[in-house]
């Protein structure tokens, strides 16, 4: 197995909503997050741009709730990625994804029963792909600057840890203790927090902000706290989506990296 691994960045998370126009208005007016509607699909697709990462907010969920459906890690060298995964014994399939405004390399990876992200790299239009995702051009009112972490539930923490050890090589996950059955997986940017449980899906999205106090003041809403120093919004504010904020320190999350 390659101990060097490959660099993988937390690229974006997909959030499905029942009505895009209503979601965009709520994101801005209540949550202080500015969503950019895609001109190519204005009724169904938008992005909340962060620094070199984003939330993809799209119409398509059933009922009235918001749901985090997928998350994606970014790579920069297809040849190195193939060589590493061959050496690490990870099954993978290279494909191409045609989105609303461009094309991506789309790599599906499999390791046992572990729910794993898709690995992606934008390839077209070339002028956009060279600097994708873009740097944050304008501050959000809530202060969000980065996609800091994804909380993901996995059926077996042991199997998930082995999968990420193989995938990331030298970037070793760290466990929170056998009684917690939770582990932090550091990435080239951002991190994954794995929880042992039955759903096998995304159970939380964390955005990085410079100051939780400033975020509270800007939004005028109560934020809860957990032992991971994440301030979670009331799910009623996010239609069931678990969305939280964590303070950044020197461009990285202060706790957990």
What is the pLDDT at residue 3? 52
108's CB contacts (< 8 A; 6+ apart) are: 92, 93, 95, 118
143/133 Cα distance (integer angstroms)? 18
116/160 Cα distance (integer angstroms)? 9
What is the pLDDT at residue 8? 96
What is the pLDDT at residue 256? 35
Residues 106-122 have pLDDT tens digits of 999 998 888 899 999 99
Tokens of 236: 């009623």
What separation in angstroms does the CA of 166 have from each of 72, 108, 109, 236? Answer: 17, 15, 12, 38
What is the pLDDT at residue 63? 82
Domains of the chain: 146-253 (3.10.180.10)
27/242 Cα distance (integer angstroms)? 14
Residues 60-105 have pLDDT tens digits of 878 889 999 999 999 999 999 999 999 999 999 999 999 999 999 9
What is the pLDDT at residue 232? 94
What is the pLDDT at residue 4? 62
Q: Give the global pTM.
A: 0.92
Question: Does residue 150 contact residue 193 with C-beta atoms inside 8 Å?
Answer: yes
Question: Does residue 98 contact residue 124 with C-beta atoms inside 8 Å?
Answer: no
> Which residues in the chain come in under a pLDDT of 70?
1-4, 170-180, 199, 227, 250-257
Length of the chain: 257
């Amino acid at each position: 197995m390659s101990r060097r691994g490959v660099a993988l960045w937390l690229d974006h998370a997909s959030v499905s909503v029942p009505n895009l126009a209503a979601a965009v208005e709520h994101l801005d007016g209540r949550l202080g997050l500015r969503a950019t509607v895609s001109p190519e699909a204005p009724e169904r697709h938008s992005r909340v741009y962060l620094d070199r990462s984003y939330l993809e907010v799209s119409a398509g969920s059933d009922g009235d709730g918001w749901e985090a459906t997928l998350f994606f890690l970014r790579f920069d060298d297809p040849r190195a990625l193939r060589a590493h995964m061959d050496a690490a014994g990870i099954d993978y399939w290279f494909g191409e994804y045609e989105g609303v405004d461009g094309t991506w390399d789309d790599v599906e990876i499999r390791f046992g029963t572990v729910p794993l992200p898709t690995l992606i790299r934008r390839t077209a239009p070339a002028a956009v792909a060279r600097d994708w995702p873009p740097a944050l051009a304008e501050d959000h009112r809530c202060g969000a600057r980065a996609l800091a972490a994804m909380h993901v539930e996995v059926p077996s923490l042991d199997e998930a840890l082995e999968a990420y050890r193989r995938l990331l090589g030298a970037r070793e996950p760290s466990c929170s203790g056998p009684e917690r059955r939770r582990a932090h997986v550091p990435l080239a940017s951002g991190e994954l927090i794995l929880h042992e449980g039955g759903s096998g899906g995304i159970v939380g999205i964390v955005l990085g902000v410079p100051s939780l106090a400033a975020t509270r003041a800007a939004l005028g809403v109560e934020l809860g706290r957990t032992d991971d120093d994440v301030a979670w919004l009331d799910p009623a504010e996010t239609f069931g989506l678990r969305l939280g904020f964590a303070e950044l320190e020197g461009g990285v999350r202060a706790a957990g990296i």
